[in-house]
Structures are given as C-alpha cells and as structure tokens.
A and B are shown apart, each in its own frame.
Chain A
Amino acid sequence: MRFLTIIFFVSQFLLSSILTAQVSKITISKSPSGFKLLKNSQPYYIKGAGAKNNFKKVKESGGNSIRIWSTNRSQLLDSALKYDLSVCLGIWVAQERNGFNYNDEYSVKSQIELIKKEIIKLKDHPSLLLWGIGNEVDLKYSNFKVWESIEEIAKFIKKVDPNHPTMTVTAGLDPSKVFMIKKYCPSIDILGINAYGAIENAPLNIKRYGWEKPYIVTEWGVNGPFEAKVNAWGAKIEPTNGFKSNQRLRRYKEIIEKDENSCFGSYCFLWGQKQESTATWHGMYLSNGNPTEAVDVMQYCWKGDWPKNRAPSIMEISLNGENWKKNHVFKLAEEVSLEYEFKKFNNDSLFFNFQLYPETFSKKGGGDFQESPDEIEFEILRQTENNISFKVPNKKGFYRVFVFLKNKNNQSSVANIPFKVESL
C-alpha cells in the first residue's frame, strides 16, 4: 500500500511537471533599438491570422499564430496546439455600444469576476501566447471607465499568470485612446490595433500619439466597409479580390514588416468568412469554404514564396462597360452585360459562378453580427470567358451581382458590383 501511494504521488509530480514545462514563457525585452517578443527566451515574430478554423492552412502557409476574440471556445486552443500555432487569446469585455453600462457597479464587478475565472482556467494552456483584453471597447464609446475594467483584468493577469503579456485592442488609433490606456491601464504591456485603411499611417501615429510600449497589428487587411466609398444610393463599393490582394501584399511588406522595432507582428483579418456589408468583404475564404487568393498572398508574406498552385485573380468588373466605381441604374428586366478581367497563373481550367443578392445597407460596425441576405435567382442569357448577359430583376430595388471564379483546387477569386433597378 505504501509503495502504491509513493507511485501515485511521484506520477502526479511528474505529470504536473510535464504540464508546467509545456507552458510557454513569453517575455518582452527592451533595448535601445526597440522591443522584442521572446517565446521561451527566443525571438518570436507573430505571423498570425484572425481565425476560428482552417488552422492547418495557416501552418502550411507559414503562419505561426492565431488570434481568437473570446474564451468561450477554448477548444480552439487545443486545435491550435495540434498545428503548433500559438494563440493570442481574446478576453471578451462587454462593449458600451452593445448596451453595457460601465457606471453600473454591479454589472462591472460581475463581468470582472467571470473573466477572472476564465483566466484561471486557461492561463496554463501550452498554446497561449498572450492575452487580448477586450476588442474595440473604445468604438463609439463615451464612458471612459471601461479602461478601469481593462486595468483590473490586466492587473489580475499579472498576479496569477507571470508567463503571458497583456494587451488591449483598440479600433484604430487616436491620441485620446493612447492617453487613456497610458493613464488608466499601466498593467497593459502591448497595444493591439485593428487598422484597415488606418494602417497606412499606423507606425507613424504610434509614435506621434505617444505610445511608448510595443504594439501588434491585431486586425488588418483591406479597407473596411466603414471606410468605403458609397455610390449615389449609399451602396458601398467593394474592390475586386485582385485589387485587395495587391493592397494586402503592399501593406504587409511596406508597413507591417518594416516597423520591427516596436511591432511584434500581426494577425490578418479574416482567415475565414463573415458577412460585413457583403459576404466577401473581409473574408479570405468564401462561405462555401473555398480559399481566395488572399490566402496565397499571406503565404507569400509569411514564407517568401507563392504557392505552387495559385488562385486566379479578378482584377476588374464592370456593367455595360462601366467599372465598379460608377452608379449603375437599369430599367426593369433590362438586359445587361457583366464584364470581368482576370489573371490566371497556369493553364488549368477555370469555373465561373454568378450570384445576385439584394443590397443590405447595413450600418453595423466593429464586427457586430450582420445577417446574410437570401440569394435571388436570375437567368444568364449568354456567356463568354469574360462576360455574361443577364436580365436584371423585374422589380424596383437595389442589388449586387457577384462573379466567383475558381480553379480545380477550389482556389477562388470574387468581385461584385452594385446596381439599381427602377422604372425609368
């Protein structure tokens, strides 16, 4: 019996030692030239994706980290571990714009207590890289007390988890946000910036606005719908996938990678699909799960070479010869020509698909949920490799027609163009 007891305790000790050994120690070093993120004492540059799935492809493309926005799907940490990806783990902090009242002491304390329990539960997960406390809590806010909650959570992390740095993530950058975080949140180690169009000046603004610690570009990609030009009836103009790919590539190479002394890396957005004004705006995947050319771009950014098989790329789209930036107004059931220009990188056959949707006119922002519209059936009258003729609906309204192009590996490219139907 005594022998069995000894065996039991020894095995428990060994098991706990193994588990402890698996926890990564993440630190930040500061030198005259700047900051470095260290994972188990080795420099670690984040090549990351904001992702809830397709982790295998992140790894294959040369990525090393994923960002998730909340602790409520903690199984994603296990999935990341399977592919040797680290995780920037978001702690969901309620947003004032969605009804949370930071003047209500009862709600505020309750939120913090719940979050503390999540931190205790997940702090020793081997894939954990750093904590992202709150996401865009500053978007359309007016109660600066939210920063007190962020600090209380960060301070708690400092107390219970010495292995992982703390970060809070803002919607873009602004001197007031930098000031508030510096004033109220001394326990925050890293600033996370979600920057779309604003990424162009992000490294400059970080310095101009007075942020003195390192930062991570926690969401970046193409300009968001909230930054897009709108046409005469308020429909947002979405660039083609080809245009977006070029924009992504330039932003990574010329902006993110170049600020290595204070930027610890980035998480591209979105390694998946979501409805945000359209079904294709931010997603690097389509709703059917097919990867777009944006995934190829990220491989080039992370690994330095293009995939052997590349997705085709739609560069231009037009209706009756006028491009996607113009106002397109048609009569009921008018026959219209939809033209598109694309690049392909080998001689594989390409497959086209065309879809029509009503315009959504969503004004939601900050990643808040948007419902996808139902597809409208329509008839294609003629089709060649670079255009189709179709009849617009026989009903007044605002529409958007999509061209989907894919190769035999389902690698895809997409473009869309809004139009209006009225009884002229």
Chain B
Amino acid sequence: MNFKNFIYFFILFLFSCDSMKSINLYDSVEKKEDPFLSFPHKDIFTDKEFTGVYGTKVHPCKEITFDSINNFSGKNHLHVKWKKTKDCKWLGFGFKWDNFKPKNLLPIIENSALEFMIRSDSGEFFRVPIIFGLVDYSEKQCFSKINILGMEDGMVDEQWRKVTIPLSTFKYFKKGLNITNVKELRVQLINQGNFHLDDIKIVPHSHTYEVSKENFTRKYKSFPVNLGIENKYWWGVNEDYSSNFKFLTTLPINNINTANNNQVLPKVDVTSYLSVNYSSESKDKKWNSFGFPFNRWEFADLSELYSTSVLYFKIRAEKVPSIKINLVSYGGKSKIISKIIQDNNIIQSSENRFNVYLPIKSFKNYNNIDWSKMKELRCKILKTSNFEIGDFKLLEFRGDPQNPKKWFKS
C-alpha cells in the first residue's frame, strides 16, 4: 500500500465513522407525558349546573344550598351549614365527580392536590371541621382534612381563600382503598360549621413535607452486648439524696491509676461500676434500686439474641448479695420479667470475687415481653449488703437455663 492509498483509506475511515448514524430500533420513541395533563377528571365542582352533588336534601342538622351571591367564580357556589346533634350522628354530602366515572389517581397522587375556595360568613377559623374522603367502587374510603399549612394565609375568614389538600395525604394504602378506581369525593361534616365552598378541583402540587421512617431502634446481632457502660444514662445513683449507691469511677479502666485507688476492682475491664452500701434499717431504705437502659432509653432489639443469652455481671463482696434483677421492655403482654440471684447463678472467680450468670430462659415468662423493644435493666437490693457490681453484659449461652455453671465451667 503506497502513501496515497493509505491517506485515502484513512480519510475514508474517518468519514465512515461520522456517517454511521444511529438508527432507532423502533419507529419512534414516545415522549413522557405529564400524568396530570392527561388526567381527564380535574373539575369536581364549578357550578350546580355542571356538577353533580348529592346529599343536599333538607335535613334537620344540615342545610346545603347553591348560593349565587358573592361567588368565587361562575354562577353559584355551595353554602354548607350544619350542627351535629345526638339524632344525626353522621353528616355529609358528596360530589359525583365526573358522574361517578372510575378515576385512576395513582399516576398523580404524589404531584397533585385537591384545591378549593372557602370563606365564612363571619369570624376567623384556623380549624375547619370538614373531612374529605375518597371512595372507591367497593365503598372503601380514605380521608384527609384541611390542614392549616394548606390554608392561604393560615386561616379561613370572610374573604375567599384557597385551600389545598395534597392527594398524598389521603392514606389510601392504610384503608385498602383502590386508588386506581376512585368513584367519588365524599365530605364529612364534624360538630358544627357554616362555610361557603367553590371551585373544587384537582391541581398540580408539590408536597414537600416528608414522612420519615425513624423508629428509634438499635438491633443487636452479636455477642457480647455490653450494658450500662455510660453513667449518664443510669438512674438511682444520686449522692445528693442517698449515699447507698456510688459510681467508683466514670473513666475507662485503662485511664485509672489503680495503685492510688484501692476501691478500683483490679483486672476488671469495666468502664462503670457501682459501690453499694445499703442498709434495710436506714432512713433511706427505700432508696434500694438502680438501673440503666439497654440502648440510651430508646428501643433495643434483642429479639435475635435473647433466647441464647445469659445476663452476666461481676460482684466483689464477702458473699453474693440478695438482688432482684428486672428486665423491662417498652412492649409485650408483660413489660417486666424478674429473677432473684440464686446459688446456681454464681461462680466464684477468686477471693471475694464472683461472676453471676442469669440465663434469659431462666426468667419466668421470658417469652411474654417484647424483646424487640427492650428498655432497661433494674436491680433491686433486697437485704442489707455492701458490695461492688459492674461489667454487665449479655453473653452467648446454650446450656441448661437452670444450671449455667456447667456451661461456663466447661
């Protein structure tokens, strides 16, 4: 190939790229349409002549008329007066909304709103006792109400004012309403009122408020679960009122100079532990309990762990004191389960030092509390005693609930 041919092919190559035009696989790409623009049922009420309204018959508790004085638009508007009594428990009326044609609101539910004009005969109102309901063909209903944030200038008074109710505030999924097959708009009247309504329609609307999913829950999935490690969440320890309970340190053990502090438990890897000096004869004998939360007073979800766990803690004392342990949940058939420490829960590790093991399955009715909403651990001192307690944990335990020693000694 000589130089001329090379140039020729090179230019041909370059132009050939340019000449390779993209070809659609299909004849044409459809333009994405705004679902609101294609929604054909925007008008709900304009004038009596064009819109079907039912429930307007004369009634002892309500009066619904088509008033032609001071309309917002058109020839007339709705004037609704009502007063609920014992004899009329449900008051309301409805709009046939495009003559009961089935309406699919799903495509527009997030970006549209019900909008209308409203005024009173006299007075200012921040609450309007009217509830709007969407009704489907199986008579299922979902509701929303007039929210002050949707009122023009945050009130209703003698001027025509615009009210907007975002369609997304109708909680159709909760009520099982078929939002793709809506029949009508129903209006429920509460207590008493006297309002004028006009120009009811569906409009585009951007609802900027969020519904968060926060549930204040921490799920625990592995052992060990360290408990009570932050003093600020404990209760019952307040030397202004009682010296029965005192924190010995609030510092991590690594930061403590044990040589200068005889009270610090040696070789105990706790960040918080408590000195208990309780007398059932003293004047503050009722100051006999303390506790701490599992998860900073929010929910601790221990549902995956509890059935294979043991509550463990350390005690330094001449003999193990009599303590009632309560595990408290925010929910469940019972909210509290309890157990008093027994001999079979104690393993002596050295002189005056004991490890306590309370298998969760050894608590009576342990299945009756809601382990996904655990709240706190409480300790109640039952007899005069002097000891130190700390290093609370949930550990894995798959032994006999009535004989934890065997599992831990092995």
Contact surface of A with B, Cβ cutoff 8 Å: 101, 103-107, 109-110, 113-114, 117, 142-145, 175-176, 178-180, 201, 204, 207-210
Is B67 interfacial (CB-CB < 8 Å)? no
Interface string of B147-175 (1 = CB under 8 A from A): 11100001000000000001001000000
- Contact status B235-A210, CB under 8 Å: yes
Task: Give the B interface residue count (CB, 8 A).
Answer: 35
Tell me the complex Cα distance, A176–B154, Å: 36
Q: List 9 A-B contacts (CB under 8 A).
A: A103-B213, A106-B147, A106-B166, A106-B209, A114-B126, A144-B216, A208-B235, A209-B235, A210-B235
* Chain A residue at minimal CB-CB distance from B211: A104
- Contact status A143-B216, CB under 8 Å: yes
Given A103-B212, A113-B148, A144-B298: A176 and B375 interface contact (C-beta under 8 Å): yes
Is B293 interfacial (CB-CB < 8 Å)? yes
**Which residues in A have their C-beta under 8 angstroms from that of B236?**
208-209
Taking the closest CB of chain A, its distance from the CB of B11, in whole angstroms, is: 64
Tell me the complex Cα distance, A178–B212, Å: 25
Given A180-B297, A208-B238: A175 and B211 interface contact (C-beta under 8 Å): no
Partner of B297, one of A101, A109, A176: A176
* Chain A residue at minimal CB-CB distance from B378: A175
- Contact status B291-A175, CB under 8 Å: yes
- Contact status B330-A142, CB under 8 Å: yes
- Contact status B209-A105, CB under 8 Å: yes
Most buried by B among A103, A107, A110: A110
Most buried by A among B233, B235, B236: B235
Taking the closest CB of chain B, its distance from the CB of A119, in whole angstroms, is: 12
Is B140 interfacial (CB-CB < 8 Å)? no
Tell me the complex Cα distance, A178–B235, Å: 10
- Contact status B212-A105, CB under 8 Å: yes
* Chain A residue at minimal CB-CB distance from B292: A175
- Contact status B238-A176, CB under 8 Å: no
**Which residues in A have their C-beta under 8 angstroms from that of B235?**
175, 178-179, 208-210
Tell me the complex Cα distance, A142–B233, Å: 19
Partner of A176, one of B209, B214, B293: B293
**Which residues in A have their C-beta under 8 angstroms from that of B148?**
110, 113-114
Taking the closest CB of chain A, its distance from the CB of B332, in whole angstroms, is: 12
- Contact status A106-B238, CB under 8 Å: no
Tell me the complex Cα distance, A101–B233, Å: 27
Is B373 interfacial (CB-CB < 8 Å)? yes
Is B127 interfacial (CB-CB < 8 Å)? yes
Partner of B127, one of A109, A114, A142, A145: A114
**Which residues in A have their C-beta under 8 angstroms from that of B298?**
144
Given A114-B126, A142-B216: A207 and B293 interface contact (C-beta under 8 Å): no
Given A113-B149, A114-B127: A105 and B293 interface contact (C-beta under 8 Å): no
**Which residues in B have their C-beta under 8 angstroms from that of A103?**
211-214
* Chain A residue at minimal CB-CB distance from B331: A142
**Which residues in A have their C-beta under 8 angstroms from that of B376?**
175-176
Majority SS at the chain A contact face: helix
Tell me the complex Cα distance, A176–B289, Å: 15
- Contact status A175-B216, CB under 8 Å: no
Is B241 interfacial (CB-CB < 8 Å)? yes
**Which residues in B have their C-beta under 8 angstroms from that of A109?**
149, 209
- Contact status A204-B287, CB under 8 Å: yes
- Contact status A110-B330, CB under 8 Å: no
Tell me the complex Cα distance, A104–B376, Å: 28
**Which residues in A have their C-beta under 8 angstroms from that of B166?**
106
* Chain B residue at minimal CB-CB distance from A72: B127
Is B398 interfacial (CB-CB < 8 Å)? no
Tell me the complex Cα distance, A209–B236, Å: 6
Is B210 interfacial (CB-CB < 8 Å)? yes
- Contact status A106-B149, CB under 8 Å: yes
Tell me the complex Cα distance, A198–B241, Å: 20
**Which residues in A have their C-beta under 8 angstroms from that of B211?**
101, 103-106
Is B286 interfacial (CB-CB < 8 Å)? yes
* 5 residue pairs, one from A and one from B, having the closest CB atoms: A106-B209, A175-B235, A105-B209, A176-B297, A110-B147
- Contact status B207-A106, CB under 8 Å: yes
Taking the closest CB of chain A, its distance from the CB of B148, in whole angstroms, is: 5
Tell me the complex Cα distance, A204–B213, Å: 37
- Contact status A208-B287, CB under 8 Å: yes
Tell me the complex Cα distance, A391–B148, Å: 58
Query: Beyond A105-B209, A113-B149, A175-B235: 10 further Cβ-contacts under 8 Å?
Result: A103-B214, A105-B212, A106-B207, A110-B147, A113-B148, A114-B148, A142-B299, A176-B330, A179-B293, A210-B238
Tell me the complex Cα distance, A210–B293, Å: 14
Tell me the complex Cα distance, A142–B301, Å: 13
- Contact status A107-B238, CB under 8 Å: no
* Chain B residue at minimal CB-CB distance from A177: B297
Tell me the complex Cα distance, A201–B287, Å: 11
Most buried by A among B149, B214, B289, B298: B149
Taking the closest CB of chain A, its distance from the CB of B174, in whole angstroms, is: 10
**Which residues in B have their C-beta under 8 angstroms from that of A110?**
147-149
**Which residues in B have their C-beta under 8 angstroms from that of A117?**
126, 154
